Structure 1
Amino acid sequence: MIKLQCLVLCCFTIGAFASKVPFINKCAWADKACLTKSSQDALLHFTNGIPELGLEPMEPLTLKAVTLKKDKLHIDFSDMVWVGPSKCVFKHVERNAPEKWLDIHLVCPVDLTGHYVASGHIPPIAIEGDGTFHCKTEEAEFIIRVGLVPYDKDGDSYWKLSCSDIKYSFDFKKKTLLEFLNLFGGDEEKAAPVKKLLDQNTKNLVNDIAPPIIRAVVDKICTNVNNFASQIPTKYLEIL
């Protein structure tokens, strides 16, 4: 009778976890093609959000506040909204089991809006403004390496991402729009040199301005994924 009860409980537990993540196609960690496809198949579920599993919606992805301080340039960004995470395409996902890291290569459209307050210089041009900013491109490439930290809880194995140790690079591969509205309080004559610089040197300026925003995006996604991973034992996520 006890054995039967244990069997029923075990089957119930397995069914409960499996029903929570039917969108996860389990892969052997060495199977790069499976990992890449499984990541793509699960993307919409992650971006739509699964509150009962700790996943906040990420389409659109929102950020509260980020500050850029570089040389003589200071920009406070706030109330940001990125439309496009659900349209990302995973190009490559790979896990190194002995060294416990995960590599992710993906491309995403970026349509980011928010509020900015700027002061200082984008050498050699002065900039000052308080208003709306907009950054848009059809294809931004992101290459990410993050550590995987295994741990045990209640007799099961879990993993979490080492969010503080993430390494990443980015490249806006296609033509990019970068605009700041209400420069110099709407003084078009003073704003003209800045607008010209933004139009003619967009890629370099994005490389200078984007890092703290991208860091905030990466941190938010990493925290969200860890909230999910803390709910589901690894045996329901991988082929051992």
Structure 2
Amino acid sequence: MSKCLVVFLVIIADLSECKKLPASFKKCSRNDNQCLTLSIKDALEQLTVPIKEVGLPSLDPLEIPALSIGAGTGPVQFNQNYKNFKIYGFTKVESINATLTENILKIDLHVLETLSDFEYEVDGKILIFPIKGKGTGMITVDKPEFILTFNLEEYEKEGEKYLKVINKTLSIKPQKMHFEFSNDLFGGDKEFTNIVKTAMNENWKDIYADVGPSYEEAYGQIFMSIFNNLLSKVPISELFNS
């Protein structure tokens, strides 16, 4: 069964002339990967608030107005429809390594924890349990690793050279996941909801194996959109020292 994915992310467009990197961002030589690693780490840690001059949103939380993911083929056989999806934790960097080689940017990012809260509406089956309901929920991921690759391409605009992401891959490796859902998950049946939540948390690896690729695709699209918004404003001459 194919998995349907819809992501709605609001980014404010700025069509004015080319911009410089914010003064608080560290600039590096294009071939200095050690500097690049430190620069990206520092930039991520600053994004507890939006940096509007280059169109960067806050990453703590990263707000996604709507997110829909189709049913899996394993234990998660229900459509997932989310609103007001907020992800916390991307600025809490535990370790990072970044390399830029021949227009391929690779980032290996470890954060301490991500916490997502949201409004949900689901219909289908999880594990052996029928499920239909809506309410609020939260997912906590312990020490996830994000392995992100951006394939970049140069282009020219108004006499300046810019970069854009033309392809991306993302792998997410969680150490542990914990699910919380409101009692509306089963029409207000608190006892049954607790049974299912316990089963989900005990079988989180199987659940993630089923729906993880869809979330990787969704998060990858979001990261690419955010990065392309920055790259469309800041020319190569302003991104690097040389």
Could you give the per-residue CA deviations for residues 90-129 of structure 1, whole angstroms, max 9, x where no partner exists? Answer: 52101121xx211111012201000111121223332222
Task: Report the CA distance shift for 1:148/1:46 in structure 2 as closer, same or farther (over 3 A).
Answer: farther
Counterpart in the other structure of 1:123: 127
Deviations 1:132-188 (A, max 9, x none): 1111134111001111111112222111122xx211111112x32212222211113
**How far has the Cα of 1:89 moved from its partner?**
4.2
> Is the Cα–Cα contact under 8 Å of residues 64 and 78 in structure 1 kept in the other structure?
yes
Q: Which residue of 2 aligns with 1:146?
A: 150
2:91 corresponds in structure 1 to 86
Inter-partner Cα distance in structure 1 for 2:68 and 2:216: 12
After TM superposition, give the deviation of residue 198 of structure 1 in Å. Answer: 1.2
Deviation at 1:67, TM superposition (A): 1.8
Q: 2:201 maps to what in 1? A: 199
Is the contact between residue 144 and residue 167 of structure 1 (CA under 8 Å) also seen in structure 2? yes
Q: Distance in 2 between matches of 1:50 and 1:193?
A: 44
Q: Taking CA–CA contacts closer than 8 Å with sequence separation of 6 or more, which of the two structures ends up with the larger relative contact order?
A: 2
Helix, strand or coil for the counterpart of 1:132? Answer: strand
Task: Tell whether 2:87 aligns with 1:101.
Answer: no
CA contact (8 A) 1:127 1:194 kept: no
Unaligned runs of 5+ in 1: 1-15
Give, as a single letter, the amino acid of the residue that structure 2 aligns with 1:111: L
CA distance in 2, matches of 1:236, 1:145: 22
Say which structure is richer in helix.
1
d(CA) in 2 for partners of 1:200, 1:17: 49
Single out whichever of 35-44 and 202-211 deviates more from structure 2: 202-211
Mind listing any 5+ residue stretches in structure 2 that lack a counterpart? 1-17
C-alpha separation in 1, matches of 2:212 and 2:179: 11
Identify if the C-alpha distance between structure 1 residues 192 and 227 changes in structure 2 by more than 3 Å, giving closer, same or farther. closer
Instruction: Give the root-mean-square deviation of aligned CA atoms.
Output: 2.3
Q: Which residue of the partner structure matches residue 133 of structure 1?
A: 137
- Output the CA distance in 2 between the equivalents of 1:188 and 1:210: 27
Please give the alpha-carbon distance, in whole angstroms, between the structure 2 residues aligned to 1:57 and 1:235. Answer: 25
8 Å CA contact 2:161–2:235 kept in 1: the answer is yes
**TM (normalized to structure 2)?**
0.80
Tell me, what secondary structure is at the counterpart of 1:26? coil
Q: In the alignment, residue 224 of structure 1 is paired with which amino acid?
A: I
* One-letter identity of the residue aligned with 1:82: I
Number of aligned positions between the proteins: 219
Distance 1:47 1:26, change over 3 A: same
Q: 2:117 aligned to 110, 113, 118, which one? A: 113
Q: Residue type of the partner of 1:28?
A: S
Q: CA deviation at 1:44?
A: 3.3
1:201 Cα deviation from its structure 2 partner: 0.9
Match of 1:41 in 2: 42
Q: What TM-score, normalized to structure 1?
A: 0.81
Query: Alignment identity in percent?
Result: 28
Q: How does 1:18-97 map to 2 (within 5 A)?
A: 20-69=21-70, 70-71=72-73, 72-97=77-102
What is the distance in 2 between the residues matched to 1:210 and 1:185?
Answer: 27
Please give the alpha-carbon distance, in whole angstroms, between the structure 1 residues aligned to 2:235 and 2:161: 6
Letter in 1 for 2:106: D
Tell me if the contact between 2:177 and 2:201 (Cα under 8 Å) persists in the aligned partners: no
1:227 aligns with 2:218: no
Q: Which has the larger radius of gyration?
A: 1
CA separation in 2, counterparts of 1:199 and 1:192? 10
Note the C-alpha offset of 1:212: 3.5
